[in-house]
Structure 1
């Protein structure tokens, strides 16, 4: 563990000496994550990307990738692109990265089951904005908007999300 790691604790996410309240998956924390279980997976997950809505916010870091209208994330275990960024049109099951709500205005992408995805092991463990305090996610870790922005601005490209069982 390094000072650049984000550590999920019972108090919230610890990062750079601060604690940030957060929400986790409705399925709790699991060592055996499966697609659709709503769980946040145990592990050391590298932050592999930062995506942002350029029509709503400025890039939080120079290495951030803008989210366009056709940007999607494949969540179909039968698709070869499973747990990868894809572009519309895309017929298999997917999640839109460009949403009408603000949840994905800023998204930190982890390497959970990526880049070599095992079908059914779960997709898209992101760090993103929460709906409201305490409202569970589908497995992601979610934060208050200003906290997420602070975290993103203070990340290094080799930071990790540490989730203990």
Structure 2
């Protein structure tokens, strides 16, 4: 491990000497991730991207490597589709998540390399680090932060850093 790694612990996420309260998947941590299981996958996951809502967050508030989320941006979660676990654009007829949501969950999103870029059908998609719905409210498998904490992290994080999730 390096100081640039994000390490999930039973008491929060450790990064650069600080510990942040986070929430994880409603079904805890798993070593056998499946699409829709509500669990956070164990392992070492590289951070491969950063997305933000330019209509809600100023460009100057995020690092240069951040990519704006447009109105047509989606994430494919259809296991049998060739774009499974990849960003796609509307119109898109198969199962997907909207990245430009009405709520603030995806206003700021770190993308991990879980089951990416060569996705195994059904092994899970869209494992992100994003904003919390509210403290203690579980995710569908992602890691969720308080707004101020996620901004602190993304402005100190380097692309290629790792999220380390150990099974409990």
Quickly name the TM-score band, shorter chain normalised.
over 0.9
Q: How do residues 84-103 of structure 1 correspond to structure 2 at under 5 angstroms?
A: 84-103=86-105
Q: Which residue of structure 2 lines up, in the alignment, with residue 43 of structure 1?
A: 43
Determine the structure 1 residue equivalent to 2:70.
Answer: 68
> How far apart, in 2, do the equivalents of 1:125 and 1:61 lie?
21
Counterpart residue number, 2:113: 111
Alignment of 1:1-165 (within 5 A): 1-59=1-59, 60-165=62-167
Per-residue Cα deviation, 1:116-157 (whole angstroms, up to 9, x for no partner): 000000001000000111100000000100001101101001
Deviation of 1:58 after TM superposition, in Å, equals 2.1
> Following the alignment from structure 1 to structure 2, what is the Cα–Cα distance between the partners of residues 67 and 133?
25
Measure the CA separation in 1 of the matches of 2:107 and 2:81: 26
Aligned mates of 1:68, 1:158 — CA distance in 2: 24
Q: How many residues align?
A: 165
Task: Report the Cα distance in structure 2 between the residues aligned to 1:90 and 1:11, rounded to whole angstroms.
Answer: 39
Report the 3-state secondary structure (helix = DSSP H, G, I; strand = E; otherwise coil) of the residue aligned with 1:162: strand
What 5-or-longer segments of structure 2 have no aligned partner? none
2:74 aligns to what SS in structure 1? strand
Runs of 4+ in 1 over 3 A off after TM superposition: none
Query: Counterparts of 1:10 and 1:62 in 2: how far apart (Å)?
Result: 32
CA distance in 2 between counterparts of 1:143 and 1:52 reads 15
Aligned Cα root-mean-square deviation (Å): 0.5
- Normalised by the size of structure 2, how large is the TM-score? 0.97
Structure 1 unaligned runs (5+)?
none
